[in-house]
Amino acid sequence: MGNVMKKITKIEYQKKNKNRVNIYLNDSFAFGIDLNIMVKYSLSKNMELEETFIEEILKAEEEINVYNYALSVLSRTFKSEKQLRDKLNEKGYDGQFVDNTIIKLKEKKYLDDERYSEILINNKITVSKCGKRRIRQDLYNKGISNEIIDEKLRSISDDDELARALSLGIKKLRTIKKDDERRSIKLSNYLVNKGFEFETVKKAVVTLLKQKCYDFDNLVDF
């Protein structure tokens, strides 16, 4: 028994989205597809379709839906590859379509972990005032590779890192009473929690409180 053929009896643009069309088979609404899918498969009125061909069209429609959804996500906020992949997987999209979408977006530079890392680092430094240890952890949590993390963090010099720790430390000291016995601990814990590395915190606290280096190991209350 041969495949049952279905004829396209009507093609109409969707009222709310002129980039999509409705396809009618045998005088009944069958499905809506992206205009690009219609062009790709040269669909036209009176064209007869086999069931297997219809399935291929619908799979192509699903894949373009994945791509369009990914674009809408990226238009709202920049994402790392891992963040976007997680978002697409949460929607329950086919894994192969997700992979194909990720590849296309990377080729077009819409998805770029290096650029994403630069933006995040700049934000963490200028807005959140975080240290390199916190930034490293945040990048790792976003799925950025260690290779990219190491490369991008090399742009932050030790002197710049210390200068930022000192600046934050000065502001923090203004909120701590001078006769507070835990002044050193509070200051060091604050800088540690901001994500500065141990050696940077040590230098900052020693400088700001004129502490001797050998006293520092007793300052941080982890």
Q: What is the pLDDT of residues 48-89, one digit of tens each?
A: 999 999 999 999 999 999 999 999 999 999 999 999 999 999
- Averaged pLDDT for residues 94-106: 97
pLDDT surpasses 80 at 217: no
CATH architecture of 157-218: Orthogonal Bundle (1.10)
Give me the residues paired with residue 28 across strands: 25
CATH architecture of 6-107: Orthogonal Bundle (1.10)
The two structure tokens encoding residue 128: 């959140």
Residue 39 binned pLDDT confidence (cut-offs 50, 70, 90) = very high
Residue 211: the pLDDT is 54
User: CA-to-CA distance for 25 and 45, rounded, in angstroms?
Assistant: 9
User: Sheet holding 20-25: strands in order across?
Assistant: 28-34, 20-25, 6-13, 48-49
Q: For residues 113 and 140, is the Cβ–Cβ distance under 8 A?
A: no
User: CA-to-CA distance for 150 and 113, rounded, in angstroms?
Assistant: 13
- Averaged pLDDT for residues 142-155: 96
Among 58, 60, 69, residue whose Cα is nearest residue 92: 69
Residue 180: the pLDDT is 82
Give the relative orientation of helices 146-153 and 113-126 as an angle to the nearest 10 degrees: 50
Same fold, 6-107 and 157-218: yes
Residue boundaries of the structural domains of the chain: 6-107, 157-218
Q: For residues 57 and 11, is the Cβ–Cβ distance under 8 A?
A: no
Residue 214: the pLDDT is 42
Please provide the average confidence, as pLDDT, over all residues in the chain: 92
Residue 28 binned pLDDT confidence (cut-offs 50, 70, 90) = very high
User: CA-to-CA distance for 168 and 152, rounded, in angstroms?
Assistant: 23
Amino acid identity, position 98: V
Residue 3: the pLDDT is 66
pLDDT surpasses 60 at 216: no
- Averaged pLDDT for residues 99-121: 96
Q: For residues 26 and 7, is the Cβ–Cβ distance under 8 A?
A: yes
pLDDT surpasses 70 at 219: no
Return the beta strands (E) in the chain as ranges: 6-13, 20-25, 28-34, 48-49
Q: For residues 49 and 8, is the Cβ–Cβ distance under 8 A?
A: yes
